[in-house]
Amino acid sequence: MDQQGLINFPSIDKVTIILEMTDPAWAVPSIQLLLLHSEHPIRIIALPGSLEFPPIQQYFEKEAPIEFWSYEAGIDPVNQALGTIETTFAVLMEDRIMVTPRWLSSLIWPCLDEERVMVVSPMSPSEQLDGKLNLWFQSHADLVSYAEDHHPRNQGLWRQVPVLTGSCLLFRKELINELGGFDPLLRSRELKVVDWCLRARMLNGQLALCEDVYVQALHSLEPRRGEKILSDEWNVFCSKWGVERNSYPLKYLSELNISECSMEPFISLIYDPYYITVIVLVSEVFPNRLESWYQINLEQTYSRIQWIGVLLGTHQEQPLSDSEMWGKLDALIKVREVEQWHEALEAALILVKGEAIIFINSSRAYESDYVTRVVDFMYRESADVVVNTGKGIPNLHAQVHIPQEPLPVPLSLTAHRCIEDVGSYVKSIEEFYFIPRSSLRAVYWTKGMEDE
Amino acid sequence: MNNNPIRKTTGNRLTAMMQVRNESKRYLASVLHDLSEFVDEIVIIDDASTDGTFELCQSFAKVTRLIKLDKSEFNHEWQLRQRLWDLAVSTDPDWLLAVDADEFYEERAKVHMRELINQDQYDWVGFRVFDFWGGLTHYREDEFWRIHERHTRLLVRYLPDFYYFYPRMDHHVPRLPLSYAVLPGFLAELKVKHYGWAVSKEELYEKYVRYMSNDPNGEWGSLEQYQSILDEHPTLIEWKEDPL
Amino acid sequence: MKYMIFCHNGWGDFSYKRMLKLLPDREEVLVVGDVMAQDELDYGVDSVSLTNMLSLDLTEYSVIVCSPYWLQTVIPLQPRYMIALLERCPNDQDAEMWNKYSELLAAQADIVGTASERIYLEQCLRREGIFLLSGESPLTYGAVSYRQDTLFLNDYESIWFEALSCLNKGERLEQWVCVQWGIRCKYYVDLVTEYPNHATISYMAATYLYLLGRSPEAVHYLVNSFEQMVLHDYLDCLHSHYRFFSSMAAQTGELVKAINIYAVSVYSEEDRLKVNELWNWLEHGKVDLVKAEIFRLNEDYASAIRTLTPLNTSESKSLLRNNYVQTFCYEDVLRLTEESSLSHEEDGGISFVDNQLIQGTVHMLHNRHYEAVTAILTATTVELSALQWLSEMSSYEESAERMLRSTAYEQ
């Protein structure tokens, strides 16, 4: 190791950095610091965290080694990104992380020092267990001063830890080959990372903590998606790892005996986005002119849709041609009497192939990204049932509301997963309703205070 | 709706509350007789007595609530105090007088009792308690025996919505909830005669042994005070009953 | 957004210099008075003399006012937004005057910040839009680029930044007020687990839970605090601690309990009459009035005002006016009096004299000296003692003059 603090490496190819972006105000400085302080050539894959995440390409030069991916509803972008890594080393981090000079080579060092090291983390506020360090700096300049003083003094200092939870992890590509990606049943980042690290240990991989590197981590003033651990997710985690449900917080994980865990550690990275069934309910009592309604409302941005139409009544006043009636539908069920709506719906349900059903009625108008947003919402909130009660399309600031008891909700604003005994359907004179089973995770999105 | 003032200036009922343990051979009968003259109701918890104390209490008409514990809680005094308080409060009282089985109020105190409680300016009354020593004619006054120089809170107004609590100690827990200290009180120059120490030398020695075995490290009380129980020549002052 | 800073004792004593780097939508930052050249460079500010400031159009500026003595100068200039930074009374100032006019400053301002948690909590119980400019957390919550560097923001700096951003967009501030309460609450609740026998820490946890509308949880902490006070012999807590339970009961709608608790805590004839009035209202179904009065009696004027504002009876407006008087929202007092033609004598609210004094104060703050004096003299026709207010007015003006002389330089 040379005197000035730079470790001489055998030549390494680029390092891939997968950056999860949650806030443009964080992402921009985070990327800027990555470009500034990474002493090796890097390739950044920037993943937007939501449909509404604004473009930030304009803050960077065209030549900057950054790929801005677009958001896709219903898939885990991190798992997708992990599948594209071709470099020996890669980093998974969130945009809350502000890196420091020579962070990258310091993180790589344990992998060179010990071949079983698979995942490496710096000291930071985002590590919840070993490695947790909260330092306050007024500015980036102060942070750099600290790093330039502290890092060389402790150069190469690293140790093995039983688990990592943080927002900045360097890992070997070969780990992905053997381990795959994050467990899709887990939603909160902390649990996903812990699960991944424990699986790595099942393969005799080691987890390393670099005590010679500190990266700053920003915190959010208000709770963000993926921060809170949901109880059903915690149950899944506990069953999986044989951990007592009451042992939260995670500090007891350090005592876990990995050799007693017998599950298959590999989880495939390959996912297809959700295949969704949209049931289009057209009733003669609904006023819209069908042909134009079909043209507008069935043009959806989401691609993997099975369209099933349910036509109630004879539409004497608006006779339709065959092709008009079909539109984009994959299946069409027609009944002469509106009163037979339940049977028609049952027939439609038999034909469903999607993982979730979204209902649209020809009595309403839907934006072209309605299905995309519903899928996105359902996926992000891990909801079994989604109800749009706001006046319009849900947005980034939509509030989630889970009532004590699920109420009947208009079918035209509802979506639910295809699970057993999900609920029942009823009809009033003018509207169709869905009543979710009470134990389900039914999530209502609202816009401001305009709900119910 | 409740338009009645929470502090009554007339018609206040006075309820005595007492915890007893094997007192039948001592002053209990006299105390209950005495109390019956000036209180409206008496509420008692018998801490697992084995000498007929329970039956003695039962024989007094003004004892309207009487509970006997199967197992003594003497060593968890705050629990005992809490039980007695809950029992007393269940009678929906106006004023409560916390009495020990060996305490007697001087005549003047009994006469002024109603005056003390039929007002709405203060919520408790402190009395001067005198520790009679070795007999019923003299009280003790020396280094560790000066309780009469301050006031002891013995009479309180019950306010249903006030917050009551006892400190969680095993011994020397005050008779009445500590929270009364934040309410205004009246320090009366009225006397209470405590005959608990007005006993023979042998019984004093027994008491000493009992204190020392309950609290050998002086955690709850003062070891020097326990020692002073055995003093050969305590300073004794002749008791003079005040005229009415 | 253009900002203009009005310090109390000149730039040297201004304790929020770093904040100036963190102002959102920062176009221009001017400081009235002398500023060292190096500081101008470091903090990106420009100094402006008082005379020159007066020639600018302040309707384009957000003004940051650090002293109640600037009110008379600043209010008539009608700045776009007024940001008040409140301090404890400095040693060389008259406390009564400083505190009163600081309240008037807070009442005028669109947003208030203070580094003192005591002042912060007092103000939270008086009005909306109050923020704490201090904290203990070493965590970083935001990053703001400033020249070639990136500045990291801690919790209160981030909240203040977001709040000022909302202000600049004309949006409401409540969301950020609640976020701050949440952070303070968590801090104290965590501290209680470490120091369960500390009365003040439990009290703070209770207070923040109460502010967040979580009275059922707040009660447990208040109980603990009350017990600790008594166990440690701090017995003067009947009003501060015990009576607070009545406010919590009012918040959860348990009005019978609230009135009973309040009744336990009062002994004077006047206060007992108030208790009867509360029972009377409750019997007649005037639950909002009961709620509002219980809040007011517990000095939670903000909750009282929130409860009364949507109501429309003369009784409710009279109570609302009382609350405005006690929180120095003088312009609201006058507006309400006029709008509702509230009388002075019958409703037992404010007297004619007080109304005149309030008018006089408002005139004075708007630099309408003649009208101010007229209002006072009118008051003196009813009550000669109102004359002393004239001397208060001139004391205030003298202090303001002294400050102007010492901080602003004439070109």
Residue A394 clears pLDDT 50, i.e. is over it: no
What local confidence, expressed as pLDDT, does residue C229 receive? 97
Question: Residue A399: which pLDDT band, with cuts at 50, 70 and 90?
Answer: low
ipTM of the complex: 0.93
Point out which residues pair with B104 in neighbouring strands. Answer: B193
Which region among A26-35, C78-87, C129-138, C382-391 has the lowest average model confidence (pLDDT)? C382-391
Question: Which residues from chain B sit within 8 angstroms of residue C263, using beta carbons?
Answer: 5-6, 161
Partner residue opposite A136 with nearest CB, options C154, C158, C162: C154
Size of interface A-C (CB pairs under 8 A): 58
Q: Are B219 and B154 in contact (CB under 8 A)?
A: no
Which of A26, A99, A139 to mutate against chain C (most C CBs within 10 Å)?
Answer: A139
The per-residue DSSP string of A94-119 comes to ETTEE--TTHHHHHHHHHHH-TTEEE
Residue burial C254-283, b: 16+ Cβ < 10 Å; e: rest: ebebbbbbbbbbbeeeeebebbeebbebbe
Q: What is the mean pLDDT of residues C46-61?
A: 92
* Separation in Å, CA of B95 to nearest CA in chain C: 15
Q: d(Cα A448, Cα A390) in Å, to the nearest integer?
A: 8
Task: Say whether residue B181 is in contact with chain C using an 8 A CB cutoff.
Answer: yes
CA distance C236 to chain B (A): 6
Task: Write out the two tokens for A387.
Answer: 């109800």
A-proximal residues of C, 155-194, CB under 8 Å: 155, 158-159, 162, 179, 183
Residues of A in contact with C171 (CB under 8 A): none
- Please state the rounded mean pLDDT for residues C109-124: 98
DSSP strand pairing (A15-21 vs A89-94) = parallel
Please give, rounded to a whole number of angstroms, the shortest distance from the CA of A222 to a CA of chain C: 7
Q: Domains, chain B, ranges and CATH? A: 14-238 (3.90.550.10)
Looking at residue C345, what is its pLDDT? 53
CB contact (8 A) between residue A218 and residue C18 = no
Confidence of residue A316 (pLDDT cuts 50, 70, 90): low
Which phi and psi (to 5°) does residue C138 adopt?
Answer: -85, 5
From chain C, the residues in CB contact with B6 under 8 A are: 260, 263-264
Angle, helices C314-326 vs C330-339, to 10°: value is 160
Torsion angle of C-alpha atoms C28, C30, C35, C37, degrees rounded to 10: 20
pLDDT tens digits along C302-311:
999 999 999 9
Least confident of A162-171, A245-254, A360-369: A245-254
Q: Look at residue C307 in the predicted model and tell me its pLDDT.
A: 97
Contact predicate C355/C344, CB 8 Å: yes
Looking at residue A260, what is its pLDDT?
A: 74
Beta-bridge partners for A170: A91, A120
CB atoms B167 and C257 under 8 Å: no
In this structure, of A327-331, A414-418, C340-344, the range with the lowest mean pLDDT score is C340-344
Helix-then-strand count for chain A, H and E: 11, 21
Interface probe, candidates C152, C175, C176, chain A, greatest A C-beta count within 10 A = C152
Distance from C-alpha of A241 to C-alpha of A253, rounded to nearest angstrom: 9
State mean pLDDT over B57-86. 94
- pLDDT number for residue C351: 82
- C241, C264, C276: residue with CB nearest B161: C264
CATH architecture under which domain C2-172 falls: 3-Layer(aba) Sandwich (3.40)
Taking residues A39-62, what's their average pLDDT?
93
Q: Is B9 on the interface with C (CB under 8 A)?
A: no
Q: Does B11 touch chain C (CB under 8 A)?
A: no
pLDDT of residue A185: 81
Question: pLDDT digits over C60-86, tens only?
Answer: 999 999 999 999 999 999 999 999 999
Residue A225: pLDDT over 80: no
A409 min Cα distance to partner chain C (Å)? 29
Which residue has better confidence, A1 or C399?
Answer: C399
Confidence (pLDDT) at A327:
75
The strand ranges marked E within B132-198 are 138-140, 152-157, 185-194
Count of Cβ atoms closer than 10 Å to residue B123 Cβ: 22
How far apart are alpha carbons C106 and C128 in whole angstroms? 10
Contact at 8 Å (CB) between B84 and B101?
Answer: no
Q: Which residue of A has its CA nearest to C156?
A: A221
> Does the structure show a pLDDT above 80 at B214?
yes
Contacts of A211 (CB under 8 A, 6+ apart): A123, A154, A157, A158, A159
pLDDT band at C383 (very low <50, low <70, confident <90, very high): confident
Q: What is the pLDDT of residue A336?
A: 86
- Which range scores top for mean pLDDT: A302-311, A372-381, B157-166? B157-166
pLDDT tier for residue A22 given thresholds of 50, 70 and 90: very high
Do residues B124 and B183 touch, judged by C-beta distance below 8 A? yes
Residue A326: the pLDDT is 75
pLDDT class of A420 with cuts at 50, 70, 90: confident
Q: What is the pLDDT of residue C370?
A: 93
Measure the CA–CA gap between C135 and C155, rounded to whole angstroms. Answer: 7
> Which one of B3, B159, B163 has the shortest CB-CB distance to C226?
B163
Return the percent helix, strand and coil in chain A, to nearest 5. 30, 25, 45
Distance CA C247, CA C260 (A): 11
Sign of CA dihedral B86, B87, B89, B95: negative
Average pLDDT, chain B: 93
Q: Where are the domains of chain C?
A: 2-172, 173-243
Given this model, what pLDDT does residue A183 score?
A: 87
| CB contact (8 A) between residue C230 and residue B182 | yes
Contact list, C162 vs chain A (CB under 8 Å): 221
SS3 content of chain B, % helix, strand, coil (to 5): 30, 25, 50
pLDDT in tens, C170-185: 999 999 999 999 999 9
Task: Give me the helix-helix angle, C314-326 and C301-308, nearest 10°.
Answer: 150
Contacts of B166 in chain C (CB under 8 A): none
The pLDDT value recorded for residue A448 is 36
More confident residue, C151 or A245: C151
Look at residue A228 in the predicted model and tell me its pLDDT. Answer: 73
Percent of chain C at pLDDT above 90? 82
Is A139 within 8 Å of C145 when comparing Cβ atoms? no
Q: Which of A5-14, A96-105, A133-142 has the lowest mean pLDDT?
A: A5-14
Of A26, A141, A219, the CB nearest to C149: A141
pLDDT for residue C96: 92
